[in-house]
Structure 1
Amino acid sequence: MNSIRKNKAFMAILYILVFLLLAEWLTPVITLTDTGHKTLFLVFIGISLLMAFLQVHWAISAGVKILYIMWFLINVYTESAFFSFEALGFILSDLRINVEALFSQDWAQTTDIFRTVLFFSLLWMAVYLIHYWVSFRLSIFLFYILTVIFIAVLDTFSPYNGDTAIVRIMVVGLMLAGLLHLARWLEGHRINETIERLASFIIPLFLMVAVSTALALYLPKAGPLWPDPVPYITSFSGEGGPGPAAVGRIGYGVDDSELGGSFLGDDTPAFRAEVEDGQYWKVETKDVYTTKGWELSEPGADPVLYSNGDLIETEFEPGAEDESLNAVLEMEQDFPFVLYPYGIESIQMEGEIRYSYSPVDQKIEPLLSGAPYEPDAVEIQFNEPVYSLTGLRETTVDKLAELPPEFDRYKQLPDELPQRVRDLAEEITMNSETVYDKARAVEDYFERNDFEYSLTNIPVPEEDQDYVDQFLFETKRGYCDNFSTSMVVLLRSLDIPARWVKGFNEGLQVDSDNERETEIYEVTNNNAHSWVEAYMPGVGWMLFEPTIGFTGSSEIDFDLDIDSSDPEEQELPERPQQPELEEEEDAAAAASEGSNGPGLWERINEFVSEHKGAVFLGAAASVFLAVLLFLKRQRWLPKVLVPYYRRRNGKQTFEKAYLRLLKQLDLYGIKREDGQTLMSYARYIDSFFGTKEMTRLTASYEQSVYGGRPETVEWRELKESWENLINRTSS
């Protein structure tokens, strides 16, 4: 009887489907790593599968693959002819470099050619494994499941879009699984196969998959029942929470055009600052709000160049203190800009460094020989700004109309901004007389109206949704970007010039130098921050901090030039201070709760009450899985029974194993008729499977049980027959 494995047409269909499945692995790898030459890699996979299908001798197959890899390397990485001394010298030279790098464990010195060879080796092994699964095991379920998981993970956690890929995988995988199941069934029942018989199975299978796919694609679809699971999954590690947003890692970024989404904490050090008191470290500002985030307007003025020690003129004039302050920054990360405090006077670095100050975004970039430079250490001299309360009380609203045109870009708002945002700005400031009072009213608004600071469960606005409107009226939950952007937009709704500022907050004090009367702060990626600068007519630009839990730079003081006899003007009311929402304090709070908090059962009950839906779904899924396993026990029980009985011996082991085989045959669908003797049933089993093993086992069982001679039965000799029969029932 011919095996289905020898049917070339049938096996060709299998190998074509395998090629399509392997291509779905290769595509995202090429896309995400920006490797290129996808077609040439696919050709290699095709050649490898073709030689496996044709059962080419392993030595010839290996030689062809090696020649192809060498041709690829020479063709892609050199301009030499394939059969030339230059090509041979190139291969040997690169081999020497990589061998030296491997022996010295200097992995960074390995070349692109070496990594390409490793990638080809991986493809080679993958093709071999799949060839083994298809040709010998007639099962590719594991590889199919891994492919689905691979694409799903990449689609969830990377920029790769797997929407169409997952459809292709399901179609190819279902066809492949169906054909392999058919092959196992034909072999298990020893059925002769012909082209006509195979077509009667294959054509309906393909039609069924095609119709199912078409219905799935074109029928209306409901929206997702659950939110994005990524924040929910990360919530179990204490770093995230449930929510419908994407998850990023916190830190200083460049692109602010699309704000929103949850963040994971990152305590990677950014720099250390030795300074008298903690400062806000400014990097840049942005002025164009787009309903989704921030962009920078076109440059309107040439940068101003300064040298080491030059007095740098920014829009924040240094204060009037007699002595300036020094700050020394030791950089842990490579930043092509200077982080500077308010009231900066001069910068000092080693070497002939020049500093380019841009009036458009207030960014200071160091230059070495005209090229961008990433400093290791920076020394800054500064004098913190001082503001007069008298001047702030004279910032009347009518002065806003007198501002020159260069302030217009700081009052820009998109036409799509919902009217209720403008109405809210008017409502917040209806009792405020001066521009400064209005700015303070907006700044304080977030602390008094149930807003929440959080890095998790932060949504991304929909296509037709405004980022600020969503935060102010729907979620009321966010981090510094939400608060600072909302304040800028609210101020601009009142025609108050305002801009969005990026940089780092003061960080965590880790040490102090008593001799120099300075403190040392460690600033990490967690301290990346955004805040607000607003223009007060007649006074200048001022820093405002709307984010709950952050108090701004404490060194920005107010000069109170007032009559102390007036109790209403004795002191400018200060904002209530809340604890800094730093990661270290969160960890300490968590540790404190763990030592004195509720017990295990209380925490379990609290978790269940907070995640009723997830617990219910988990329980339902567990019940469904248990029922499914019970109904399909005929398939998986042999995998458990065989190793169980293989390790056991003794007089009663054979009897138990034989009775277990009878039950398994009954589950398989070959039932013993009422009144049918065991030997008659055994002959029927052997005729069904084409063996003599059941008759042999039954004779031994009758001899042991009915003949009263169990000692004559050798279980070790009968194990193989028993295993062969029970394994047949799992197909």
Structure 2
Amino acid sequence: MKRAVNRQYSWYRIFAVLWLLLIGMQWVDYTEPLWFSETTTLVTVTLITIALIEVLPVTPPWKWSVKMIAVVLGWRVVLVVTGAYVPSGPFFPDQLHGMALHFVPYIWFSLGAWVLFELALELLTGKRSVLLFLAGNILAFTILDSFTSYYLWQNVAWTVFAGLGWLASLHFRNFQLKYPLGWRRMRSQPLKLAFNILAIFACILLIGISMPTVSPVLTDPYTAWKNRESASGTGDSAALPAAAAANAPADRGRDRLDVQSGYSRDDRELGGGFEFNYTPVMSVESPVRSYWRGETRRNYTGEGWSDLGQEERDYELFHENSTGTLPFKERAPKTEVMRVEQTITMQNEEVYPVLFGGYAMTSVELLDEGIFSANMQWTAKEKELFWLGMSQALSSQEQTNRLYPRKYKVVADIPVIPLEEVRGATYEELYPGKQDKEYLQIPNEFPDRVRELAQQVTAEGATPYAKMELLQAYLRQNYEYTNKPDLTRKKSKDFVDGFLFDIKQGYCDYFSTSMVMMARSLGVPARWVKGYAPGSQPEPELVQRNPENGMAYRVNNADAHSWAELYFGDYGWIPFEATPGFDAPILYDEEEDVPALAEATPPEETVSQANPGLMDRLDPATVRTVFLLALAIVVAWVVYHLRSAIYYGFFRLRLGRPLTMSEKAVMETLRIVGKMKRRGFERSGDETLRESFARWKEQEPGISAVLDRLLREFEQASYSPQAFSVSQWKIVLELGHKLDRMTRKRVRIPFLSQS
């Protein structure tokens, strides 16, 4: 009796081992950055080895012996291959003793994983225990994802998938033990059963992929506490440049880094990961939303952007005085501007190389008490205002303590872009003369496949601006935003090439640099700009309670940002935003009565992009493939269950009228006869249906009654003058289903039909 029961659930044992192994591998994936690579390999080999042996048809005493031998041999192979152990002497006892010396830090992890795997396999035998086990795993992963720097939603997704599979397998096993006759009938149609299960999983996938990403309505307590803690900081510690992350150790993009977001000072080597720093930088009173522009770069090196010292600038020494008007060159003749005042109040003690403001500043006024003049350098071409320091009115001690203005006001001319005009302007109209080569600079070793990708993406664009819109959309839609890109994917030496073809994920520096260089490869002048995103404004309700705080934009180090500016001849420089989750605030002249800036992504959405869910981190091509595959399964399932309606609908279209019940009965009978022929019931061309059925009854006596009833209905539908009723048509359908079930054994697949 025990052996019979074992045979009954042997298939379940195989699936239980599979689901448990899948869940166990999620923990191996989580611990991989924490362990030595040898330890990870040992644990992986151990789990796979015992899982494979577990499903073998071997009695328990022998199975344990095989497991012990296989695991020990696996340990030896891994330790030798990885160089952790050099064998010497005979296997027993010298080599076993030598391996035992490596129990710590290698073998004991794999031994512990083995014990946990065996315990879980023996203890998780009921639905309640499996559910508790799954809930514990999912809860542990979500806590680790929330309270550490690890992103574990992919692990959660795989755990949920394995859990659903395990619960489905457990349900069928219980059904098998409780209803053996029903199981025997279900077992006779394994493909149909598997197809229905696949359809259910496909529906779940379609719902999950199709659901839009929604920002949380409420902030969880931990995030609120962290943000409050960051916001209450004194600002004494300098925000480290994001570019410095390139020198930090990267481990699959999930490493714990001390590098924090902030205004970058060194852009020579871009890349790496960083942590978001929410300490305040400044508040900006402005009637319109802007990017707070800092510096530009134009010389791309293949790793990043060269220093200012390697770029020629036409500096003009500027002393801030009562008027504060900046020397300004000719504006873009075909673009109007909106003049706005912006008051910047710094919230920390940092010394920045530039004064920030909207594009482009026309004047500046220092508002600090006791400051009457300061030295600055203005570059009219790049629209940068470099800060050199105080020049008078303060004592030396005061100047030392106040090296950067705490409050200043700028007047900025914000371009109002005539979108339809510039979108329709051809290359010859935009660039009639010789172009400025400095904004078309490309290194000699710049990969050709980047140029080819840019041409392919923009092929449908008729004008330069239309091509740039296609390029911007491509980068936003096909690459993942994350503050911790997986640098282990990178193979190319070039920063842009590595992002586009290897890493395929990153933050603003990756997207903006790629936008600039791909635009240049298409002959459109471009430059790289860094500064700050707009920041956030307080809620109107808070302003009503505390009107003294005003509606100033609050900018913190997490808002540090970079973007691209592209040159379109007489229309001037226009910002382009290729980073997902950000929208460049641009004025367009075709908007309604009072132009308003394009809405930027709220800060909550920007932060949520830094912690993307599984679907956000998956490659878009993978998501599309999964979506189409799941959709195909669901469509196939629907077509299969509606095949009769589709079949007769096709004939209705051919005839131009609905089929009568008798016509349907005749056609259904002939369809059943065709299926019987494919299952080995032969019929010659000159036989009547009655003669064929008579021979089939001799061949398979068990179907005689069904064939007789079907023949009677067929002859009545074919020859009787009486109308064929709907109930009779349903009888023909039921008889066809019966014949299908009774003759299915002729095409049964032996492997799938075994217990």
Q: TM-score range by the shorter chain?
A: 0.3 to 0.5
TM-score, reference length from structure 2: 0.41
Q: Work out which structure has the larger RCO, using CA pairs closer than 8 Å and 6 or more positions apart in sequence.
A: 2
Q: Tell me the TM-score normalised to structure 1 length.
A: 0.43
